[in-house]
Structure 1
C-alpha cells in the first residue's frame, strides 16, 4: 500500500471519529428510546470501523516509511 493510500485511510478514520462523535452530541431530545438505541449502535459500530481503518492506515504508513529508507 502506498503512503498516499495509507494517509487517506488515516484522514478517513479521523473524519469518521469526528463526524460520529459530533452526531452523538447533536442528537435532539424528544425522540423515542428506540431512536437513541439505533443511533447509539450506529455510532459504536462506526467508531469501531474507524479504529480498524485507522489501524490499517497506521500500519501501512509505518511500513511505507521503512520501505522508503531502504
Structure 2
C-alpha cells in the first residue's frame, strides 16, 4: 500500500502548509486591524470566515492524512 502512504504524506503536507499560510495571514490581518487600516466591516468578516474555514479544512486533511499513514503500516 505504498500509494496510501504517499497520499497520507501529501495530505499531511498540505495540512501543514495550510496552517502555516492561514496563521500567517491571520497575524497580518490582525496587525492591519491594530494599525487602524480602514476597510468596510464586510472585509474583516469575510477574511475571518476564510481563515476559520481553511483552518478547519487543514485540520480535516491532517486527520485523514494521519489515518492513511497509520493504515499504511
TM-score relative to the length of structure 2: 0.82
- 1:7-65: CA deviation from partner (whole Å, max 9, x where unpaired): 01000001001100100111223222211100000000000000111100000000001
Q: Which runs of 5+ in 2 are unaligned?
A: none
Specify which structure has the bigger relative contact order, considering alpha-carbon pairs within 8 angstroms and separated by 6 or more residues: 2
2:54 equivalent among 39, 46, 55:
46
How many residues were matched structurally? 65
Q: Secondary structure at the match of 1:2?
A: helix
Moved over 4 A (4+): none
- Corresponding residue for residue 13 of structure 1: 15
Give, in whole Å, the separation in 2 of the partners of 1:41 and 1:15: 18
TM-score relative to the length of structure 1: 0.85
- Corresponding residue for residue 58 of structure 1: 66
Give, in whole Å, the separation in 1 of the partners of 2:71 and 2:47: 36
